[in-house]
Structure 1
Amino acid sequence: MAAETGTARQVAASWLLPSAEAPTVAGQSITIDNGRIVAVAPDTKASAAGTLALPAFANAHDHARVVRVSQVGSYDVPLEAWLPYLALIPAIDPWLASVVAFARTARGGVGSVMAHYTRVQGLTDFPTEARAVAKAARDVGINVALAVHCRDLNPLVYDTHDDVLAKLSPQACDCITRRFLRPPVPAAEQVAMVDAVARDIEGDNVTVQYGPAGVQWCTDEMLRLIGEASARTGRRVHMHLLETRYQRIWADKTFPQGIVRYLDEIGLLNERVSFAHCIYLRPDEMELIAERGATIVVNTSSNFIVSSGLAPVGEMLARGCRVAMGLDGLAFDEDEDALREMRLAYNVHKARGFDVRVPRADILRFAFEHGRFAVTGAADGGRIAPGAPADLLLLDWEALSAELVEPDVPPLHLLLAKGRQDYIKGLIVGGREVVRDGTVATVDLPAMETELLATLRKAAPSTADMRTAMPELSAALAAHYGNDFYCG
């Protein structure tokens, strides 16, 4: 698969899919040196390598979470009632949590990931925790953008929470008040923390972004400060936007001029910004996002699982939007499989009969290019060509093509028909071998998963009060989102 030649390294590919636009070509040798691709050339011997090489995938919206919905009983729960279930996850060593999350991400075919760090472990001060997360990223070897969570509004629901608390027993009310309704850190301090963390940890494949939770979770002061700081520093911004219909209703009642126009007014609509979800955008909002150059990150599996809806990907593309892929910590089979996620998004959105809404080139940009840009801010990746970063995904071509009857089925057809992480032979990021023979090569993922599960089970009693309160809270939230504010 790969051979060392002096300081350079060569990767042989039976087939090469070099970019979203280019056709697959047979028998190619890729030369890597100093983290970059220096040459791509025909090689008759490469045809026997049994490998399909393509650009590494990017996951442009995730949370470095390691607990799956099935582990805490939160499957089949709408987002607004699902979010409190995160409080059932006990605080653990942030390095262990992050190294497992990033290693699973790599095993799923991803070379660059956005870690919107909304679940702080809190066992130390945040700069110390951020250093542990950065170390985990470097230990695994993938590109990570740490979007530092900023939030100071609506801790429980999108409007006043008094009616929710009134529906709870005294014991449940005390638990929810204690866990969710603590005074927030002042907005200026939160924004300053992002800059301090960036000075401390950036470099060696780790970058830092401002990570406002979403407009419904941040004050106007917070969002304006972030817009100003991003303009001043050039630092990127990542946030949620219009994930559910309840958020759309809240936004329309809060911003008569429109939530996207509001973001434009305060400096949070430009090419430095990426928005997760955007299911409930209107066509004029898509056009404004496209005009300003911001990125939309679609999370198909996640939106299905927490019953949020279906993003209008075809419409977004038709309006000129840059659209990227995210897994949101909620991949369809809880396995961080980026190939399956791309295929799911493609098959859901691609066409209505002969009316093609999402061309194949667009779904490849979705997986290769646009997410990497959202994560790194660099437009030089997502392709295998001289000068590009050496971020490659290597699939087992012999296994992928083993059942062919027609001998000349294009490799891209097979990738879109059946590609999944089982076929991954290797992942190279910045020239470093991260996955070898389908196994993460940089850390011992199975051992760490075993340690993680034991740690979580041992710490589970620390969230017993929340576990007891959850049935009452879930019922109260369901009633709240059925009230006149959202349904009237």
Structure 2
Amino acid sequence: MQTQAITVSDALLGSDFITHGATRVQVVDGFIQSVTSDVASESGPRRLLMPAFANAHDHGRPLSTTSFGAGGKPLETWLLRLAAIPSVDPYLAAVAALGRAAEGGCAAVMIHCTRPQGLTPLAEEVEAVARAATDVGVRLAFAVALRDRNPVVYGDETPVVKALPPQAREVLGRYFRTPSQSWREQLALVDDIATKLGGGNVNVQYGPTGVQWCSDEMLAGIAEVSASTGRRVHMHLLETRYQREYADRLYPGGVVRYLHDIGLLSPRLTLAHCVWARPDELALIAESGATIAVNTSSNLHLHSGIAPLRRMLDSGCRVALGLDGCALDEDDDALRELRLGALLHAAPGFGDPTYRGQMLRAATAHGRASLGLAGTGSIAQGEPADWITLDLDHLDRDGILRVDPQDLLFARANKTHLDEVVVAGKTIVQRGKLVSLDLDQVQEELRDRFRRALSERSDFCASWPEIESAVTQYYHERAGCC
């Protein structure tokens, strides 16, 4: 039996994250045994204890996509530009992504693997990612990407192909029109991967990439097997205006209503983004018990718009916090992402006094549930010992008078204020740095490998201006058609 204890000067406890002053937490074998408030404060640095964050939507990219020429592009061309990124060791790639998440305050991460490295069979790659999560120390959910249509644009790609000169046309076909397995084979692969991982510490989920990339047969099949197995589903929905327009053409009765009718809309489902969801759709999502993973910074970077988070909450939707590999400064800082969401979506004027609690639940409890992890994401008896501590001496930089730490948290906290990240009672980040691995060294190794491998994608990069122009024209001609 392993026991430990921590005493902090302040703690955010309960479902409303009320400040409880000096608090002592005792841990046995990775679970919280007791929480005692109003204890005698120990001398030394002041610390604020709160539940660790869960990143409810990410893709596990090894480095910033801006570094590969994808900055400033809307999603529809940004996705295609990712083909410029060479494949690298999946273990190193996952260590980099998960290590940044940990140093940003997350104890758990969802990786929706939409672009596997492809150097080994997918099952082996997932095992490498799981090993990386163990070595970093974070909890992991892994959604296996599923898709069977629209590799280039939403709909018939003939106009794009015709607009390209022969060389660019050949490059487009080679990179994006590769043969794929049937949807039944893809679903069977998810279950095979889950079996090979043996349950363990990884929650494997079905990962349909979105209605624009999945046939009706695939979506209905996923709904059926999810209902029969209880396996969770993680998918994108209505991220951009072009996805909204495509969905309206394809599902005139409403795309969310369609998901409901086939049985996909359920408490087992997490929907990433929903930027362009309508009020009636949000009401239906709320009624179903599904979770929406909101990715504020990513939507801003990719010109997708601003998700109606306030309306989601008012509709009763369960909302979680996602980083989508694209936090505001491309640094996986979950604390800053929390603050940005709160500032951007708070009601004007005196607003809602419960709003901060809603945002904190999104970053902790709801995100954790969407990953299929045990526990409620709170600091309480019987809960997994997953928490972060912030350096209050650093956060309260002026030290003028006693200020509620929650005010400081929402005013200025970022990952530089992290003291520790603890998962199952084990410290995985200390003084802002990963304990088990040298993340800076890992990322430098990846940079070196990418630089040496860039020539592998020289044909794509050479044809990119023509491909980007043709795809941009495709969407321009269809914008506002519905």
Q: TM-score range by the shorter chain?
A: over 0.9
Look up the match of 1:91. Answer: 87
Corresponding residue for 1:387? Answer: 382
Question: In structure 2, which of residues 136, 139, 155 is the aligned counterpart of residue 140 of structure 1?
Answer: 136
The answer as to whether partners of 1:12 and 1:49 remain within 8 angstroms in 2 is no
Q: Read off the aligned partner of 1:226 and give its amino acid letter.
A: I
Q: Deviations over 1:421-441 (max 9, x none)?
A: 000010011122110121101
Q: Which residue of 2 aligns with 1:352?
A: 348
> Given that residues 36 and 390 in structure 1 are in contact (C-alpha distance below 8 angstroms), is that contact kept between their aligned partners in structure 2?
yes
Unaligned runs of 5+ in 2: none
Structure 1: distance between partners of 2:14 and 2:462: 51
- When normalised by structure 2's length, the TM-score is 0.97
In structure 1, what residue type is equivalent to 2:3?
Answer: A
Distance 1:355 1:479 in 2: 43
**Residue 424 of structure 1 pairs with residue 442 of structure 2:** no
Q: Note the residue ranges of structure 1 that are not aligned, 5 or more in a row.
A: 1-5
Q: CA RMSD in A?
A: 1.4
CA distance in 2, matches of 1:262, 1:77: 30
Whether contact under 8 Å (1:100, 1:445) holds in the other structure is yes
212-221 vs 476-485, which moves further: 476-485
- In the TM superposition, residue 20 of structure 1 has moved relative to its aligned partner by 4.2
Identity of aligned residues (%): 46
- In structure 2, give the amino acid aligned to 1:38: Q
Deviation for aligned residue 1:356: 4.0
Equivalent residue number for residue 439 of structure 2: 445
In 1, Cα distance between equivalents of 2:178 and 2:480: 25
Determine the C-alpha separation between the residues in 1 that align with 2:469 and 2:92.
Answer: 34
Shift of 1:202: 4.5
Q: Which residue of 2 aligns with 1:370?
A: 366
Which residue number corresponds to residue 244 of structure 2? Answer: 248
For 2:419 and 2:479, the matched residues in 1 are separated by 52
Q: Quote the residue 1:174 is aligned against.
A: 170
Please give the alpha-carbon distance, in whole angstroms, between the structure 2 residues aligned to 1:360 and 1:231.
34
Deviations 1:84-137 (A, max 9, x none): 111011011100100111011000000111100011111111111111111111
Deviation at 1:484, TM superposition (A): 4.0
Matched-pair contact (CA < 8 Å) for 1:28–1:47: no
Match of 1:31 among 26, 35, 40: 26
Superposed counterparts of 1:146-295, under 5 Å: 146-295=142-291
Counterpart for residue 60 of structure 2: 64
Within 1, Cα distance between the matches of 2:124 and 2:371? 22
How much has 1:11 moved relative to structure 2? 1.5
Q: Structure 2: which amino acid aligns with 1:404?
A: G
1:482 matches 2:476: yes
Q: Counterparts of 1:313-324 in structure 2 under 5 Å?
A: 313-324=309-320
- Worse-superposed segment, 202-211 or 459-468: 202-211
Whether the 8 Å contact between 2:45 and 2:393 is mirrored in structure 1 is no
CA distance, structure 1, for counterparts of residue 198 and residue 417 of structure 2: 33
Give the total of aligned pairs: 481
Distance in 2 (CA, whole Å) between partners of 1:428 and 1:19 is 18
1:411-467 per-position Cα deviation (integer Å, ceiling 9, x unaligned): 000000001000001001112211012110122212111111111111111111111
Distance 1:485-1:304 versus aligned 2 partners, 3 A rule: closer
Q: Does 1:342 align with 2:338?
A: yes
Report the TM-score, using the length of structure 1 for normalisation.
0.96
Divergent runs of 4+, >3 A = 45-49, 354-358, 484-488
The question of 1:398 aligning with 2:393 is answered: yes
Instruction: Give the aligned residue type for 2:406.
Output: L
